[in-house]
Amino acid sequence: MTFARHERKEPHVPTDSLSDVAFLLIIFFILTTSIRQLTGFVTELPAAEKATAQQTEKTPTVQLRDAELRFNDQVVDTATLRARLFSLNLAGRREEERIVVVETSGKVDYQRYFETLAAISGAGGIVGLLTEEEGSSR
Amino acid sequence: MRMPPRRRRPILVPTASMGDIAFLLTIFFILTSNFARESGLRLTPPRAPEVSPVKEPHLSVVIDENGQIYLQGGRVANSDALESALTVLLRTRPTPDARQVMLKCDRSVDRSVFEPVLGAIARAGGVIVAVGDRPRAE
């Protein structure tokens, strides 16, 4: 009795839809990716002891108290603060002379605080923090 | 003389490499995407004109509109816990660039929340990269 030969079919993985799957993945990533550029500024807060040691009578001070902004005890607005800080030419000074102390008290939201820190950093200053409750400087 | 009829060959577009091209594009998008660690957190960033493009640091601290603190996307109980965690993370980073910590805070958060966080980052040895947007053009 002769058996018919069975031709072994080679296993075949259909790859026709592979490119469709891949392009769908690409479309998914394109739609879910949000291209963003971070903006901000870099500020290094000095250690407490260093800031206290370097603080002198001439150290510029910015006070934030509730809705009030003061620069060296004078009430100013944000634009005036920027102009005063730029006039100090902080960027061209030695590190210990670039410190600008920021005192806060009362209710101060982060928006106003951020504007103040950005103005100091933009003028080339180094921020030194002074908090009301602790009475310590950072 | 009779010319034998020419068989018109069917036009074939080789699509065998389509899958390779598509997967290469997919890999490109995967590698170039930065998956946001703070996705899902609700906050409105502050605005200031002095901000400039900054490189996104590896470490991120976020304070959402409810005053909740997050480190690397994970919730942190308070600023003391944040300082402890950051001290461990920054211990093996010697250079100022490697010690940069991105701070994202909602603009309405009060100083009683963000000031301890700023102090915690400074005491842990971090260099703060405060993130915000430019004011909208009026």
DSSP string of chain B, one letter each residue: -PPPPPPPPPP----TTHHHHHHHHHHHHHHH----TTTT------B-TT-EE-PPPSEEEEE-TT--EEETTEEESSHHHHHHHHHHHHTT--STTTTEEEEEE-TT-BHHHHHHHHHHHHHTT-EEEEE-BPPPP-
User: Per the structure block, which two tokens stand in for B65?
Assistant: 């509109």
Q: Is the separation of the CB atoms in A99 and A54 below 8 Å?
A: yes
Over 80: is that where the pLDDT of A15 sits?
no
- A29, B30: Cβ pair inside 8 Å? yes
What is residue B86's predicted lDDT score, i.e. its pLDDT?
Answer: 93
User: Tens of pLDDT along B62-102?
Assistant: 999 999 999 998 999 999 999 999 999 998 888 888 889 99
pLDDT range class, residue A135, cuts 50, 70, 90: very low
Judge whether A100 is closer than 8 Å to chain B, CB to CB.
no
**How far is B116 from chain A, CA to nearest CA, in Å?**
10
**Chain B, nearest residue to A45 by Cα:** B122
Q: Among A3-12, A74-83, B38-47, which is the least confidently predicted range?
A: A3-12
Higher pLDDT, A131 or A8: A8
Over 70: is that where the pLDDT of A46 sits?
no
**How far is A18 from chain B, CA to nearest CA, in Å?**
6
> What is the distance between the alpha carbons of residues A119 and A86, in angstroms, rounded to a whole number?
9
Residue in B86, B87, B128, B133 to test binding to A, most A beta-carbons within 10 Å: B128
pLDDT range class, residue A33, cuts 50, 70, 90: confident
In this prediction the pTM is: 0.73
ipTM for the predicted complex? 0.75
Q: Is the separation of the CB atoms in B38 and B60 below 8 Å?
A: yes
**Chain B, nearest residue to A123 by Cα:** B50
User: Tens of pLDDT along B3-12?
Assistant: 777 777 777 7
Note which residues in 19-58 of chain A have CB less than 8 A from chain B: 19, 22-23, 25-26, 29-30, 33-34, 37-47
What is residue A6's predicted lDDT score, i.e. its pLDDT?
Answer: 67
Residues of chain B contacting residue A138, judged by C-beta atoms under 8 Å apart: 118-119, 122-123
Residue in A17, A35, A62, A114 to test binding to B, most B beta-carbons within 10 Å: A114
User: Tens of pLDDT along B113-133?
Assistant: 999 999 999 889 899 999 998
Q: Chain A to chain B, count of Cβ pairs less than 8 Å apart?
A: 139
**Chain A, nearest residue to B120 by Cα:** A138
